[in-house]
Structure 1
């Protein structure tokens, strides 16, 4: 049966990010569904103060719908989608960036719903929590200056992360571009920034949400390295691969590499779509016990 690709977005993103990739997958004959995690997509908050002319003081205090959303909420929502997709045949779960945390949590809970799990420069915590990895040497070269300089409000008071992606500050925009799409044009970069939403939830999981050998470890898995990523550097991607292989040595990652930055594979989706299409052939493996 034809598999369904279930696509999970990263931080501040939504299903809209995957539209070009889905078009390419469709033209290659593949079925896909892009997920909006709770508080994302049309459920997101875009405060009036976020529009032009911006009111930065009001933006820093306006409530957002994503407040209180947890990783458990994300995982439960994704599991519901996986259950529906699984009725139609095999499921290949694809996550990008922070979406990997949700994909891992869902895989820990319901490995029976996933025939292959794919991380595209995505978080799959094994030995540490995400906060722990952020303090490790592999993240020393990560470019987070743009996000930090454009944060709006106090996360502890807002109960969420808020970032002003519609800033006109040229220095902040330059740091954003360097972190996310250094190999894209200015027009591509600004277009992608306008698909982002200002709010993200605070919950990145705990030790209980790390990959579990007994469940997550049963699922065939692929890691797609993004070779020029400065947001989640290749050194950290390689560490996550290594730790996953150590956790399940009898079920190591199938490792692939795409050239490009954190967002280039979505802006120029043909190579990524071809790579994902190739993974359908790997579904012809003996069923897991």
Structure 2
């Protein structure tokens, strides 16, 4: 790999999301002359399947992202948002030497154990409304199915995901999202492997107004990485969970600064 090869930003979406959610960020990076790949994880977006998310797991996400990373010529900055952080960690564990940098945007980064270790640290404001979002019993259908646009839950969804936006903006963002998500997360694969993940430079973008992945949980991820001897470069942005993508300027500034 030549040190003068152009950087490619690979953007990984979170739960119930798709590559389309990265549209404003991808456009901002491209307008500044950077290469960008925003991909749909298996079963999401344009990779939707007749079977939905049934049978898909963390291993499928790792394979899909790693295939893209391997195909690129030049340094790769791997960026994950929300649950996409689990995929970023797993890929960094698998192919650390193919990554120039990993960026967690208010994203899960499990250092001291798997996701279950962190589940009770700072519950999301979505947790209270979650049972009303479900449209089927996950145990029966083998996947998570939700309706994020149900009229009787929109106020709570707005507060959690886009409290700094309008209802029209929220509905536009929700239109880019999926109603299905994989049920299976392999905790071992998404937990940091210090000997491998620790070799990759890392940045954590802390969203101060996020009520879906609370700042206290974001801080816990950073603190655990610091305690393990793998400190993050931390950048704070005053925006919400989806606001960081809807109004991408500050995040684009952070990402282009890595170049």
Specify which of 117, 121, 135 is matched with residue 102 of structure 2.
117
The Cα shift of 1:143 comes to 3.3
2:225, 2:232 within 8 Å by CA — same for their partners in 1?
yes
Q: Report the TM-score when normalising by structure 1.
A: 0.85
Q: Distance in 2 between matches of 1:164 and 1:141?
A: 17
Give the match's secondary structure for 2:103. Answer: strand
Residue segments in structure 2 that go unaligned for 5+ positions in a row:
none
| Equivalent position of 1:76 in the other structure | 63
The Cα shift of 1:195 comes to 1.1
Q: Distance in 1 between matches of 2:23 and 2:189?
A: 33
Q: Is the counterpart of residue 163 in structure 1 residue 163 in structure 2?
A: no
| Equivalent position of 2:32 in the other structure | 28
Give the match's secondary structure for 2:149. Answer: coil
Q: Distance in 2 between matches of 1:246 and 1:107?
A: 19
Q: Distance in 1 between matches of 2:128 and 2:51?
A: 23
| Equivalent position of 2:226 in the other structure | 245
Q: Distance in 2 between matches of 1:269 and 1:179?
A: 19
1:166-188 deviations in Å (ceiling 9; x for gaps): 3232xx00000011000001110
Specify which of 154, 170, 184 is matched with residue 203 of structure 1.
184
1:146, 1:179 within 8 Å by CA — same for their partners in 2?
no
Q: Report the TM-score when normalising by structure 2.
A: 0.94
1:64, 1:160 within 8 Å by CA — same for their partners in 2?
no
The Cα shift of 1:141 comes to 5.5
Specify which of 131, 134, 150 is matched with residue 119 of structure 2.
134
2:13, 2:82 within 8 Å by CA — same for their partners in 1?
yes
Map of 1:1-289 to 2, 5 A cutoff? 1-44=5-48, 64-85=51-72, 88-136=73-121, 139-140=122-123, 142-169=125-152, 172-247=153-228, 249=229, 251-280=230-259
What's the RMSD between the two structures over aligned residues? 1.4
- What is the number of residues matched between the two proteins? 255
The Cα shift of 1:149 comes to 1.3
- Max radius of gyration: which structure? 1
The Cα shift of 1:27 comes to 1.2
1:69-89 deviations in Å (ceiling 9; x for gaps): 01011101110011012xx21
Q: Distance in 1 between matches of 2:89 and 2:212?
A: 20
After TM superposition, the runs of 4+ consecutive aligned structure 1 residues lying more than 6 A away are none
The Cα shift of 1:158 comes to 0.5
Q: Distance in 2 between matches of 1:68 and 1:141?
A: 27
Q: Distance in 2 between matches of 1:211 and 1:9?
A: 19
Give the match's secondary structure for 2:240. Answer: coil
